Structure 1
Amino acid sequence: MLGLLRTEGPATATTLAARLDLNTGATSYHLRQLAQHGFIEEDTERGNARDRWWRAAHDSTRTDVRTREDGGEDVEAYLMTVAQLYGDRLRAAVAEMAFLPEPWRAVGTLSDWEVRLTPARADALVQELVRLIESAEESEDPDAAPFAINLNAFVRPGQAWGEE
């Protein structure tokens, strides 16, 4: 829902329910949860009390995994959902690559690197990448298109940690 509000603009619970093949009660519940956690907000310029419109509160969602300790299972469930959605979106992008206009076929990357870093250096690297992405100027050029950037940075799973 958040992704749709961000990419397609404000919507009501009814329009989102139809778009996602959900019932309006479930959609309304999830919209209220998203609003409670600051991801979306009511679009007071549209609709009325019976016809509530919602919009994304931010242009991007950044999850600080440091909040995981405070959020417990709720944050872990959220992160698992985000990982699944990123995977789904990546699979869809790969499936559509052959159908892109020629100049867009060579743009992007599905690369990964593994480097040994201290926690402080890893955090500094993530913050530096975020600053670089946020500094990208959006273009009004007719050849411009929405360009998705996922930054996933984490300790490689399966590490054996010594006693602390």
Structure 2
Amino acid sequence: MPASDLDFSLVDYFSRGEFPGDVLNHVESDLVLGLSEYRKRLGKQVQPSSVVAGWYRQGGRKGSRHYAIERLSDAGDVFPQCDIRDALLVAMGCDWWGGIGVYLDTNGNDGTPQPMLHLDGREERVVWMRYKGRYIYPLRSESEREEFWKRLSEVSDG
């Protein structure tokens, strides 16, 4: 069911107006409900990306979780308003997120550099990081795992 069909009075932590453009017509309702529960568990504000392509795309790779031609997207990009390490840990504790990506080379909704989380509903768990345009998969090799932790340790809200 598209998220546009949700009764937002039942969604505790998000309102329709937080999602840009026609995004809610193209994403799964379970994505928004999952984000609301994630926000509850995190205990911090989570800002949905203001970029439409952070929610759905009608072009590009068909394998992308954002791809929304003849299906709804089950992926979203968000900016947790806390230490990204806490946001990652809580996301990993949510069994409905299969894909969890930490992006350390993005700008937040205000245009300033801010870490972003990609969260999606794929069945298998995959964790990755993008740092300076390069993807790091911590479960692929020891060296990538070491770099993953190194880059995360460099990012903190204090």
> Is this a same-fold pair by TM over 0.5?
no
TM (normalized to structure 1)?
0.27
**Which structure features the higher share of helix residues?**
1
- Higher RCO (CA-CA < 8 Å; seq separation 6+): 2
TM (normalized to structure 2)?
0.28
Q: Specify the structure having the higher radius of gyration (Cα).
A: 1
